[in-house]
Amino acid sequence: MPMREVPDQGLQPMRPAHAGRPDWAALALQYERVRAHTQRLAAPLSAEDACVQSMPDASPAKWHLAHSSWFFETFVLSVHQQGYSPFDVSFRMLFNSYYQQVGARHPRAQRGLLTRPPLAYVMAYRAAVDAQMLALMTGMNARSTVEQAAVAQLIALGLQHEQQHQELLLTDVKHLLSCHPLWPAYASDGLVNASLERAAADLAWQSIEAGVYAIGHGGSGFAFDNEMPRHSVYVQAAQIALRPVSNGEYLRFVLEGGYSQPQWWLSEGWDWCQAQQLSHPWYWRALENSAGAVGWQEFSLHGAVALHVQRPVCHLSYFEADAYARWAGARLPTEMEWEVAMGVYGWPELLLGANPSLHPEPMTGDPGPAIGRVWEWTQSSYAAYPGFRVAEGAVGEYNGKFMVNQYVLRGGSCLTPAGHARLSYRNFFPATARWQMTGLRLARDA
């Protein structure tokens, strides 16, 4: 899931999600489930929690709630529902993220200043859009085949878009709450705070043989345009770890001085690390007890929790992930290596989103490659696949415009909605981003 609004830029599927005549009843059911899930995620938030913006990169929950509805109103209802009258004309500008063809928009860094409309009014907006959308779908069978296909595709896009904002809503709220000196919780229950304090199992490695492979999306399901076209790549022989790096492993890097030794860091990363005076991951803190012993905690959506050594390390920047890998005598994988190696195992559909704890599960004897706990940094700069085509129209207005100075993440996290990610999915963030669920998996030359 790409960063910030980036989600939106890639929503144009290169192949129709629904060939033939869409099953409108099934789509309506899916629509209701996705939309309801967003509201379930927002339910623990007060109007204040949902309004405040803690940094320019993060958006208020209220804005996520409104913008994901704006997407359906702007691209579906306003175009395909005859005589549609907007819920509130000011919303066209207020909740436009960055679509220049749609017109003016409120500045991103000032989304937190929108105390009006109140949260309740935004929830009414959601309800109104939902009613109209369901009415539209009910009557779609009477439309032409062409229009049916187009609308079904837009709705599929809108739902994928909403799922991306579901994860962002959680990471943005997490950042906001972490800025409070008391580290308050988003949700107070559901965390299986396993008491095991032994280190994660030894790393096992999977080998990749040198040769030409095909990567990218080529099947019939939904995919973003940045996953296409499927194409050949030459991959050198290499090895890739069967699980992400754990908190326990990363803690050793911290305790052995990794943040004060320039030799592990990229030059730009070192300068940034020094300027920010970093000494451990975002959301970690060391507490001294009365006996002088230091205990480590990390901030979670459940508030402060003891640092569990078997959980994957999380909220790392690319610079930290890269420095750790070098310290560990390894390196980050390329996204090609990742996709080729993980492809062996198939996609662990059930794991993703099945975690009710909103925090990465400990890694205890996983049989497979332990995908889906944290997004995993790769060393691949985010770039167009050979033959990549920019999509037409406003929904795809800026395909590819984020393809510079960002790095690809793979795999999905414990906050990614079920059914959203896949093997070819390319998330991406700048090298300094730390507020997403970002960890790493090691690789090494054969």
User: CB of residue 405 vs a second copy: minimum separation in angstroms?
Assistant: 5
User: CB of residue 29 vs a second copy: minimum separation in angstroms?
Assistant: 34
Question: How many degrees, rounded to 5, is the angle at CA 437 between CA 347 and CA 373?
Answer: 35
Rounded to whole angstroms, the Cα distance separating 8 from 18 reads 20
Ordered alpha helix ranges (H), 111-179: 119-138, 145-178
User: CB of residue 167 vs a second copy: minimum separation in angstroms?
Assistant: 20
Q: Which pair of tokens denotes residue 327?
A: 């310290």
Q: Which pair of tokens denotes residue 401?
A: 């415009």
Q: Based on CB atoms, which residue is closest to a second copy, 49 or 225?
A: 49
Contact 96, 104 (CB under 8 A): yes
Q: Which pair of tokens denotes residue 135?
A: 């009415």
Q: Based on CB atoms, which residue is closest to a second copy, 113 or 192?
A: 113
Helices (H) and strands (E) in the chain, counts: 11, 12
Pairing of strands 375-381, 407-410: antiparallel
User: CB of residue 266 vs a second copy: minimum separation in angstroms?
Assistant: 5
Q: Based on CB atoms, which residue is closest to a second copy, 90 or 193?
A: 90
User: CB of residue 412 vs a second copy: minimum separation in angstroms?
Assistant: 24
- Burial tier of 243 (Cβ tally within 10 Å: 0-12, 13-18, 19+): buried
Q: Based on CB atoms, which residue is closest to a second copy, 24 or 382?
A: 382
- Return the number of other C-beta atoms located less than 10 Å from residue 170's C-beta: 23
| Residue labelled with tokens 């490659």 | 369
Q: Based on CB atoms, which residue is closest to a second copy, 50 or 415?
A: 50
Q: Based on CB atoms, which residue is closest to a second copy, 370 or 395?
A: 395
Q: Based on CB atoms, which residue is closest to a second copy, 112 or 348?
A: 112
Q: Based on CB atoms, which residue is closest to a second copy, 132 or 406?
A: 406
Rounded to whole angstroms, the Cα distance separating 307 from 153 reads 43
CA torsion, points 240, 206, 423, 337, in degrees to nearest 10? 50
User: CB of residue 118 vs a second copy: minimum separation in angstroms?
Assistant: 5
User: CB of residue 273 vs a second copy: minimum separation in angstroms?
Assistant: 13
3-state secondary structure of 161: helix
List of residues contacting a second copy (CB under 8 A): 46-49, 51-52, 54, 90, 93-94, 98, 100, 106, 110, 112-116, 118-119, 176-177, 179-182, 184, 210, 212, 231-234, 236, 238, 262-263, 265-270, 318-319, 322, 331, 379-381, 383-384, 386-387, 397-398, 401-405, 431, 445
User: CB of residue 232 vs a second copy: minimum separation in angstroms?
Assistant: 5
- Would the CA dihedral through 183, 189, 194, 199 be positive or negative? negative
